[in-house]
Structure 1
Amino acid sequence: MAKRQLKLGLVTTGVGGPGQTNRWLDPEIPVDASVNIDWYIEIVRQAEAAKFDLVFIVDSQFITADSPPHYLNRLEPLTLLSALAVATSHIGLVGTLTTSYNEPFNLARRLASLDLISKGRAGWNVVTSGDAGTAGNYGREAHYNYATRYGRAFEYLDVVRGLWRSYEDGALVRDRETGVFLDKSKLHALNHKGEYFSVVGPLNIQRSPQGEPVIFQAGDSEQGRTLGATVADAIFTHAKTIQQGQAFYADIKRRAAALGRDPDAIVILPGFSVTVGDTDEDARRIEREHRRIDQSFDQALAEFGRAFGWHDFRQYDLDAPFPVKALEHAKSSFFTQAKQITEIAVARGLSLRDTVEHLRDQFSSPFVGSAETVADEIERWFEGRAFDGINVHAGHPSQFRRFTSEVVPLLQARGLFRTEYEHTTLRGNLGLPIPANSRSVN
């Protein structure tokens, strides 16, 4: 068997994502970074030079004035990734798209187009949309409830994958001598009629060198874990400690095996910020300084309500017990996250102020130290089966440079990470098989 290899992803949030309201003040970051294609090309090429597996573009479609700066003004993922596809050659291109506010046929076509443009490097992060306010942007009075969101997602994946397999391999003959362009026996309609969708097909685009886009998933609820174990090729997640990482890793692999899947065919990739210093103490100082300047308490309090359907917590007494009733506002939003926050606050007897500070602490990372220390910790998590790789948040440019120039070479020297790309497709570099493409004639 081939030796297990660490995977690396890049997460870009331009002028500042959650917990980083003021990061755009860093003079190394263009003030328009989140809509600046030149900035994206530069940082993604930097990741590709370091042999990263992928770049991950996060997305949502509802904002308030208190949303992080990157969320307020950013490029649509597939448009951005298509531009990056022609500016790169090996790095995977993964974008977030929701099953709640896209039609399967249109999304399948757009993703298949990116997959062909990039010659097999596309990936789709499947989400059901946690921001309940998105409903109002698509003519709905209310967001779908949890059961409906995940019911739609399961069926949606079946439809999209069925559409991606409209053409059998070799269907497009393109023989000028015989004048045959298409072998009609190898083109299949879908004729799907389900609980949520009715789609005839076929899709008017062929498969790519990797077969079809890689499916990523990021939900941590019971429904989210089931969806990931059932359909995902890779899973984005979060973990505060190695024990949390190991528990999630083991749970997903167990679920996949119970469903008859090869557990090794699912890649677990939690996201982390990384801080590298000359020494461990220097790195901790840099992390503290960045946390201090990147977001004030008042800014954190304003952003705190996102998981609770953007409920405004500024109306409460900061030093009174945490307002448990606010959980009601999260039912159609990021309920799993909001419930976890509420349960911690109640169990520890935290005030609202304490709870906001606790959440701010969650942005601290276990990967802080000298380059050697960070490499040691990554190796410990990887060998301990807490992940298959990590998504590195780009953060401040100086820190991402230090990671690629100081930490990555150490991982390579230890034989944990590649020194050259093994393949030209995202599936190939992630060690994932090409999905079978066999359909019966309808």
Structure 2
Amino acid sequence: MAIYHLSVKLITRTTGRSATAAAAYRAGEQIHDNRTAQTFDYTRKKEVSYRRIFAPPNAPQWMKDREQLWNAAEQAESRKDAQIAREIEVALPIELSPSQQIILLERFVHTQLTSKGMVADVVIHNKKNNPHAHILLTTRDINITHDGFGQKNRAWNSKEQLEEWREQWAKHCNRRLSIASSKSRIDHRSLQDQGLDQIPTVHVGANCNAMNKRGISSKRKEFNTLIKEKNMINEKSKQLIASLKLDDEMNPIQQEIVQAKKSKHLFLNPTDFNNSKKYREAIFARTYIPILLEIFADYCTGVDEIETEIGTCFQINLNGGGKVYDYGSQIKIANGTDAEIKVAIKLAVEKGWQGLHLTGSDEFKSQVFLEAILSGAFRLEQITGYKPSKAVLEVIRDCKPALKIANESNVIKSYVVEKSDDSGTGSVEQGHLPRLKI
């Protein structure tokens, strides 16, 4: 399940560290330090799956170059005890796909870091069962006049700033988990603040993990094992005590209140086996609808949870009367209007889908296909269930010449063709990259 981890540390010269070495190691690249004349080469590092530099709009273009950025950060400091960079390390929820993890990370960086004037060097290390990200941050404001760094920003060192990052990371993670239809949630608060009667585990760290791989037992891992066993015993004891409580010990009025609450799905007991599914669905609905309202604030008048002939879904009511139905791994629309199609494509992107499979009439599928390609949300090879006509490909050529569609027959052969119905509506499903059949 998803775990919460966000730690912040400083890269300082007093500890013998440099920003150039830290950036090279995390990104798995080679960087030459102009100040010390050292070259740091970590190009053999295999676990790096994503690297990108984010900068505020007023940042000069050269700050997008990793070597230039961190050499400039080093040269801006003259003190022997200088704080050269700040690092935020976060654990990425394993319930999210790699693309969903990237969306989560980029949204957090944009809203919490670059919007405040920091340059962020973001790298994902895709370790098995431990995907995590390193965010290396600058510590000085950008000086536009001198095309470089200005004064130190002390506000970024405050305890309030740290608490805001911790809270916002939990909110961003829970939002993406909800959009991905995952029931997992994380909490930045301590177990005590959450009111949980559990013993917190200790951080194991890379050194202990390396020892375990070599068959050497570490005290930290043994300590964590004992803590987990203790917490498990406590939880089983609570469940046993709860199972021994008899319903007839409550008076009739109390029983009636409990049953009324359960029937309305308002305050359901998560440990009640018979209602655990309804409880999860109720919690999911209360967190998911506000997220949809926020994402589509400019497009919709409201979101309703409804029952249809194929199951429960979230109905997004659009301005002008259109409707989009979110079934989790399937998106349906009511009338096939341009507004509905645009919202459906945007919803698929927010969910982090890696492909689309289209059903419905050829007219509907061509509309969705064009919107998905021309908006840049998906590539041609990511869409199945539709055979694009020569006219459709010509439109793409005119609007997106960079795609360079050289041969229509090669493109068309990469699509799965389905029999279309007579209606103008259809659905968009979460797809997988098609296998080419030549």
Q: Highest relative contact order (Cα 8 Å, sep 6+), 1 or 2?
A: 1
TM-score, normalisation: structure 2: 0.24
Say which structure is richer in strand.
2
